[in-house]
Amino acid sequence: MTDRIRTRAIVLIGAGLALIAAVVWWVATTPSDSFVLLPERDPLVADKVVRVAGEQKRAADDDGGILYLAVVFHRASLAETWLADFERGATVLPAHAVLPAGGNEEDERRINRLEIDQSKQVAAAIALRALGKKVEIEQDGVRVDEVEKDSPARRAGMRPGMVVKQVAGTRTATLRQLRAALAGKGPGDTVTVTVRDAGRTRELRVSLIGRPDEPKRGYLGVLARPLLRVGKLPVKVTIPTGGLGGPSAGLAFALEIYDSLDKRELTRGRRVAVTGTIEPDGTVGEIGGVKQKAIGAQAAGADLMLVPDGNAAEARENADDMPVVAVSTFAEALAAIRRLPRAA
């Protein structure tokens, strides 16, 4: 091989390697139209997150407690969507299954912040009520979950995760009040909608159109639900969750608050992994990411995992030999933990 041929071969090999590196970099960094869920293999013990005035201090050698389960969740790169099948616990979901209809990732984050803030308040109310204390829960605005494409609300700048506080100067603490504020408004009417957006108050001017089913009635074009607010708590409860979001820690928070104040030592040295939403009547609701949470709980050495009824089958499929108990209420969750024998 002459020097010219050798030099040319080296150049071609170098170019080929550079091309391969560029393709690998592009695949690894280019976002896909999907999201990936992965297990959080180091769940937080809830007493490291929840702070309750007058709480019972856990003994230094007590390795038990309520485990607050989370999921690693982000938009997947192209590489992650291809490699997910080779990683235990990885689940790839299309964007439309994750993001609110008519919304983007910022809208999803806005909803998640509202949900975790509400779940913390309701969890405190449920736990304190179970301990015999009086706590009020009331509606305090209407949360926008979806904004229809090309709707008046969307054109005016309304987004999922905003909270409607007033319409045309009328307070809208409930869905009924929202409907009443729009009653008598027709297509072409313009109303001022006051919304809370991530702590800021904004006024949006919305020009209504006719409802698809009642053309003479004014129509915003949103899907909404009540936002709840808990009254003054008889005990100070602080739950700093940082950038975490969503409602699925509600049951875990409620159990930890209860355990912090109950002198009977609820977990008695056992590690109890918990997931599920909590409603004002104590009902436990279904959550997402059960596969990942079961794997994370098992890896953390949980003695028991509590899940909502509707999630139990999937949790058991991924929990190996870790016991999984399905619960539908806060009372059932308490009873399940109390059946555990004290740790040796």
Q: What is the mean pLDDT of each run of 10 residues along the chain (344 residues)?
A: 62 62 58 79 73 74 79 76 74 82 84 91 95 92 90 92 92 91 89 90 92 84 90 90 82 93 84 95 94 92 95 94 96 95 83
Query: What pLDDT sits at residue 343?
Result: 82
Q: Which pLDDT score, from 0 to 100, does residue 52 have?
A: 87
Residue-level pLDDT at 7 = 64
DSSP H or E run through 159: none
Q: Give the model's pLDDT for residue 306.
A: 97
How many residues are there in the chain?
A: 344
- Give residue 95's pLDDT: 81
CA distances (Å), 27 to each of 34, 47, 95, in order? 14, 41, 18
Q: Look at residue 198 in the predicted model and tell me its pLDDT.
A: 81
Ranges for all domains in the chain classified under CATH 3.30.230.10? 38-77+111-134+233-338
CATH 2.30.42.10 domain span(s) along the chain: 138-229
Distance CA 71, CA 291 (A): 10
pLDDT value at position 56? 72
Q: For domain 38-77+111-134+233-338, give the fold.
A: Ribosomal Protein S5; domain 2 (3.30.230)
Q: For residues 162 and 193, what is the distance between their CA atoms, to the nearest angstrom?
A: 11
pLDDT at 204: 94
Residues 206 and 156: beta-carbon distance below 8 Å: yes
- CATH code: domain 138-229 is 2.30.42.10
For the record, the structure tokens of 42 come out as: 């180091």
SS3 state of residue 39: strand
Q: Is the separation of the CB atoms in 84 and 32 below 8 Å?
A: no
pLDDT of residue 38: 82
**Closest of 307, 310, 308 to residue 322, by C-alpha:** 307
- The pLDDT, as a whole number, for residue 53 is 86
